[in-house]
Amino acid sequence: MIRCFLPVPDPIAFRLFGLEIRWYAIMLVLGIIAGVTVMYIRAPKYGIEPRDRVLDFILWVIPIGVIGCRAYYVLFEWDRYKNDFWSIFKIWEGGIAIHGGLIFGITTAVILVRHWKQSPLKWLDLVAPGLALAQSIGRWGNYFNSEAHGGPTDLPWAIEVDGVMVHPTFLYAAIWDFLLFLLLLWIERSGRVKFDGQLIITHLIVYSFGRFWNEGLRTDNLMIGSLRQAQVISVIIFVCGIILYVTLSRRAKRKAAASAIEAPASTEESTKQGDQE
């Protein structure tokens, strides 16, 4: 008898007027709603008023981010789609890559916020915790589609896919992303944010670290030649993230030191002017 940590799922949640509503789509939508809610609640901390500006932001970034997720996946799986063009649009059947969403989404966010003459880094810091939560919830869509799983294992938390017990790598990713969500909120609420961009860069570093490890267990990876593309991209993002973090952190420290030197000088000058009067 095959033991199951989680039951073998039915990818279809229900049917409505003959249309199949899949759990994959439901989990993506729930993830987006949760992420946007976290952004909306925290917006005043970043000086974003009215809060409805968050909704304007989302209406641009999320659709283009989803397009990026799908386009990225299709690009690396072109042989699978080249003979069936319309299947490219069947995103509810699975097949998205978060790295594509990050590239398209962050690029759109930067362009949009610059158009508003606001700080892109502040906006991306606002996005970071909600993004991690959305990723955590969205990963459960992989479970319902029986995809993004690992190789065979006899661990007690294995799941069944096609009669084989395998690593639930979707679950590892979901847990990692949720812990990342908690970490980012803790950094923010404990007053450890020292420079604009700290949260989004921390997200990219920590996410990439976990993604690199998790991809090593998966069996359905997109490939760049003989290499797992997600691992290659994760290494690039991780290294770039470390460089950006160190650079912006040092810049913030130099700025704080300069301000500390200027403050006593300004106070002393004001005192002298008062004495003369």
Please give the average per-residue pLDDT across 144-169, as a whole number.
92
Question: Quick check: 49 and 67 in contact, CB under 8 A?
Answer: no
Phi and psi angles of residue 149, each rounded to the nearest 5 degrees, phi first: -105, 170
Would you say residue 6 lies in a domain?
no
Phi and psi angles of residue 19, each rounded to the nearest 5 degrees, phi first: -95, 130
Domain that holds residue 243: 12-276
CA separation for the pair 61, 64 (Å, rounded): 5
Would you say residue 130 lies in a domain?
yes
Would you say residue 145 lies in a domain?
yes
Question: Quick check: 238 and 208 in contact, CB under 8 A?
Answer: yes
pLDDT (0 to 100) of residue 88: 87
Would you say residue 231 lies in a domain?
yes
20 pLDDT higher than 80 = yes
Q: Where residue 263 falls among pLDDT bands split at 50, 70, 90?
A: low
189 pLDDT higher than 80 = yes
pLDDT (0 to 100) of residue 266: 57
- Which amino acid would we find at residue 214? N
Question: Quick check: 238 and 209 in contact, CB under 8 A?
Answer: yes
CA angle 180, 182, 187 (to 5 degrees): 95
Each residue of 96-141: pLDDT tens digit?
Answer: 788 889 899 999 999 999 999 999 999 999 999 999 999 999 999 9
Range list of H helices, the chain: 23-42, 52-76, 78-81, 98-115, 120-138, 140-144, 169-189, 198-215, 229-276
Would you say residue 259 lies in a domain?
yes
Helix (H, G, I), strand (E, B) or coil at 42: helix
3-12, 31-40, 241-250: which has the minimum mean pLDDT? 3-12
pLDDT (0 to 100) of residue 186: 97
pLDDT (0 to 100) of residue 81: 85
Q: Quote the tokens at residue 213.
A: 């490890």
Would you say residue 4 lies in a domain?
no
Please give the average per-residue pLDDT across 69-75, as a whole number.
88
60 pLDDT higher than 50 = yes
Tally of domains in the chain: 1
Would you say residue 216 lies in a domain?
yes
Would you say residue 5 lies in a domain?
no
Supply the pTM of this predicted model: 0.85
Cβ-Cβ contacts under 8 Å for 122 (sequence gap 6 or more): 46, 47, 196
Cβ-Cβ contacts under 8 Å for 180 (sequence gap 6 or more): 132, 136, 203, 206, 207, 210
